[in-house]
Structure 1
Amino acid sequence: MALLLKDGKAWCGGFLVADQWVASAAHCLHGMKSEEFSVVLGAHSIYKDDSFKEVFKIQSYFLHSEFKEDPRQNDILLMKLNEKVTISPAVKTIGFQRVNQDVSPGTMCLVPGWGSTSSSGRKPEKLQEVEVPIISRTVCNGRRDHDGNVNENMLCAGGLRKDACEGDSGGPLVCNGIVEGIVSFGPSVCGGKKSGVYVRISAYVDWIDSIMANNS
C-alpha cells in the first residue's frame, strides 16, 4: 500500500507494482506538479515514524493518454519513484490481474486506505480496510445506481454501508490476494445506495507493461 502526500497531507492511495513503480488513479495527479507530492511506503500511521516507512519523490508520472475527468474514464496512472524501494516485511509488490476478465458478482474484496471513514469527512491517522462485494455491471448501470456511466473497463463494488471514500482514490481493490481494481469514483455520500466504481486493471495490462518497459 502506498500513501500519496500533497504538501505533507494525505491525498490519495496507490500500490507498489514493481520495485520503482506505483500505480494509482489518474485524477489524483491530473494537472498537478510532481514536486508537490511524496510517496510513502511501509506506513501504517500517516504521521508516526513506523520502522519500515520509506519516503520517495516522484521522478515522473504517466497518465493514461485517454484519461477523461468528466465523465471519468481510463482513470489510471503510473508513478516512477526517484529510486528503487527496499523490499521488507512491510514493503512488497502486489500482483494484479493480468487476465482480461470480469470479477464474479458477489466476490468479496478488500479496499485499504486512509480515506474518510464517514460521510462527515473525518479521516483516520492509521490505515483502514473495508470488505465490499463485487456488484454486477448490469445492476451498477441501473437507473438508481450509475445510470449507464459504467463501461467495460470499470467494475463496481459496495453495499451494506461499506465503501471507499474521499482520500481512498488510487488505492487497490484486492480480491483473492491480487489487485482487480483501482478506486476511481463513487456516490457523493460514501456508503449510500450507489456503488463505488473502480478501474478494472486487467483491461490495462498492455499499457502498464509498455510504460514500465519504455521508461526503465
Structure 2
Amino acid sequence: MSLRAGSTVGESGGVVSGISTVIYHENYDSITLDDIAVVQPSEPFPMGPNIQIVNLPSKFGYEAPSGLPVTVVGWGLDGDGNRPEQLQKVDLSVGKTSICKDIFADYNPVTESMMCAGAINKSPCNGDSGSPLVFGSVQVGIASWWDENCEYPQAVYTSVGFLRLWIQNKIRD
C-alpha cells in the first residue's frame, strides 16, 4: 500500500509515500465498532498549497452539532456506478443521532462512537469507506457505513471527536 497527497486525479500527480505503520483500533469491526486506524507514512509529506494538515477537533469527546455543514471527499462510485477519475466531494449536514439510530435500527446499531451526516440524494458510496468528513480544516468524521442505496439521506461516520484521545495516544506511541 501507499499514500498519495496533493492530487485530485486518481493514481497520478502529487506525492506518493509508502506506509511505515498502521494501527487499528482495538475494538475495530468493519461494521459496528470503532472503524478507525492511524496510518503513518514512511516519509512526511511536504506541506504546500496542495497538501495541508487537517486538524482534530479541539476538545476530547467533541460532538459535531446537528445541522453543522460538513463535506465528505472520496474516490467511491459516482451516481452512475462508475469509479471517478477526479476526487469527488459532497456537502452534507450532521444529522441528529436519535433520528439516525431510528433510520438504521433494522440494519446495524449506531453507537456512541458514531455520528451521521447526509442530505437528500447525497451520500458516500462503495469505495468511500475511510473518507474524511470535514468542517473547514477540522476532521469530524470518517466514512464508515451506509445503506447500500448510495443516495440514502444519511450515512454513518466514525466520530473523530469521540475517539480523539485514542488518536492522540497512538500518535505519541
TM-score of the superposed pair, with normalisation by structure 1: 0.74
* Superimposed CA distance per residue, residues 74-132 of structure 1 (whole angstroms, 9 cap, x where no aligned partner): 000011111111111111111121321322212211011111112x4211101111011
**1:47–1:61 Cα change, 3 Å:** closer
Secondary structure of 1:68's counterpart equals coil
Secondary structure of 1:210's counterpart equals helix
CA contact (8 A) 1:97 1:180 kept: yes
| Matched residue type, 2:7 | A
**Within 5 A, what are the aligned runs for 1:54-93?**
54-69=15-30, 71-93=31-53
Which shifted more, 99-108 or 201-210?
Answer: 99-108
**Within 5 A, what are the aligned runs for 1:1-216?**
37-49=1-13, 53-69=14-30, 71-99=31-59, 100-118=61-79, 120-142=80-102, 145-147=103-105, 149-193=109-153, 195-214=154-173
Aligned length: 170
* Alpha-carbon RMSD: 1.5
Distance 1:159 1:78 in 2: 28
| Matched residue type, 2:123 | D
Poorly superposed stretches of 4+, deviation over 6 Å? none
CA contact (8 A) 1:38 1:55 kept: yes
Identity %: 26
Distance 1:149 1:72 in 2: 7
Distance 2:42 2:129 in 1: 22
| Matched residue type, 1:66 | N
Post-superposition shift, 1:192? Answer: 2.1
Post-superposition shift, 1:173? Answer: 0.7
Instruction: Identify unmatched segments of 5+ residues in structure 1.
Output: 1-36
Secondary structure of 1:152's counterpart equals coil
Post-superposition shift, 1:175? Answer: 1.7
